[in-house]
Amino acid sequence: MRIAEAAERCGLTIDTIRYYERAGLLPQVPRGADGKRRFTAESVDWLILLGSLRKTGMSMKAMARFAALYRKGDQTIPERREILLRHAEQLSVKRRDLDRCEAVLTYKLETYDLREVNKKAEY
Amino acid sequence: MRIAEAAERCGLTIDTIRYYERAGLLPQVPRGADGKRRFTAESVDWLILLGSLRKTGMSMKAMARFAALYRKGDQTIPERREILLRHAEQLSVKRRDLDRCEAVLTYKLETYDLREVNKKAEY
DNA sequence: GCTTGACCTTGAGAGGCTCCAGGTTGGTAG
DNA sequence: CTACCAACCTGGAGCCTCTCAAGGTCAAGC
């Protein structure tokens, strides 16, 4: 498939995909006879993985490292495994950020409500 | 209190606080006779709110809008309320991102494990 | 043969920090 | 008293991650 379809399937934009390629985050993107990029189901999977990692805060540098390991072959699986495991831990940190924000918002909204009540009570 | 203490309490860096002030995200930061910024418990609360919003994806532009409303006084509370409510909805979107990433990671780790098993079986 | 649409590359610009150089001030040690 | 140090200040450069615009190529359809 071509870049437009790949973009739609993985949820990244066309520009971002090209940017990631330039940055070395994609393991070789073959081109058709027309010079245009061709993507397979696996490369879309890879993009989805990258997108997930990125959206949840992994840096491009770390993703580049991950991609480099991938290119080196299966003997790097233990290390890649480690990277993903460590990132999975980051997810709980992120969740805690969300929880904390939720608490702050709830509190803030409550104080707004209180003020509304007080205002009404004044008249 | 001074900026170092405020930074420690709200979890932002000193640089970020100054940056936010320049960007108009802080409702007036008074200075002492020495020309240095002074923060109160409330301004720390404000910084915590900003930090929470930022960490969970609100843009600085939106936060600037929020700050501008705040400066206009209590009659903007309904609108500020709306902004926070809408952001609270964003939190669930973020949570879904985390869930999706978790699923992707789990799947990926499983395939690594499978390969390990297969490799061992080959010999 | 001309237009249209999907792709291409290169490079600039935007958003959100982060860091650095160089300067001021206030308190403490000698 | 003076010298020094820590904590602050400002302005501006640099970095990361996109995002967009300009200008070019190519294939297909009218």
Per-residue pLDDT of B24-47, as tens digits, reads: 999 989 999 888 999 999 999 999
Mean pLDDT of chain B: 93
Structure tokens at A35: 């010079």
* Orientation of helix A77-122 relative to helix B41-55, angle to 10°: 130
Residues with CB under 7 A from strand D: A 13, 15-16, 19, 34-35, 54, 59-61; B 2-5, 14, 18, 31, 35-37
Mean local confidence (pLDDT), B1-21: 96
Specify the pLDDT at position B123: 63
Specify the pLDDT at position A113: 86
Chain B residues near residue A109 by CB distance under 8 angstroms: 81, 84-85, 88
Reduced 3-state DSSP string for B50-119: HHHHHHCCCCHHHHHHHHHHHHHCHHHHHHHHHHHHHHHHHHHHHHHHHHHHHHHHHHHHHHHHHHHHHH
Specify the pLDDT at position A101: 96
Specify the pLDDT at position A122: 59
Model confidence pLDDT, tens digit, residues A18-34: 999 999 999 989 999 89
Distance A6 CA to C2 C1' (A): 31
Mean local confidence (pLDDT), A92-101: 95
**Burial profile B23-46: b = 16 or more Cβ within 10 angstroms, e = fewer:** eebbeebeeeeeeebebeeebbeb
| CB atoms A115 and B53 under 8 Å | no
C-beta separation of B5 from B36 below 8 A: no
pLDDT at A119 over 70: no
Give the C-alpha distances (Å, rounded to integers) separating A53 from A90, B74, B104: 10, 41, 9
Q: Which of A14, A99, A74, A84 is nearest to A52 (CA)?
A: A84
Residues 28-67 of A with CB under 8 A from B: 48-49, 52-53, 55-56
B118 band by pLDDT with thresholds 50, 70 and 90:
confident
B114 band by pLDDT with thresholds 50, 70 and 90:
confident
DSSP chain A: --HHHHHHHHS--HHHHHHHHHTT-SS---B-TTS-B---HHHHHHHHHHHHHHHTT--HHHHHHHHHHHHH-GGGHHHHHHHHHHHHHHHHHHHHHHHHHHHHHHHHHHHHHHHHHHHHHH-
pLDDT at A123 over 70: no
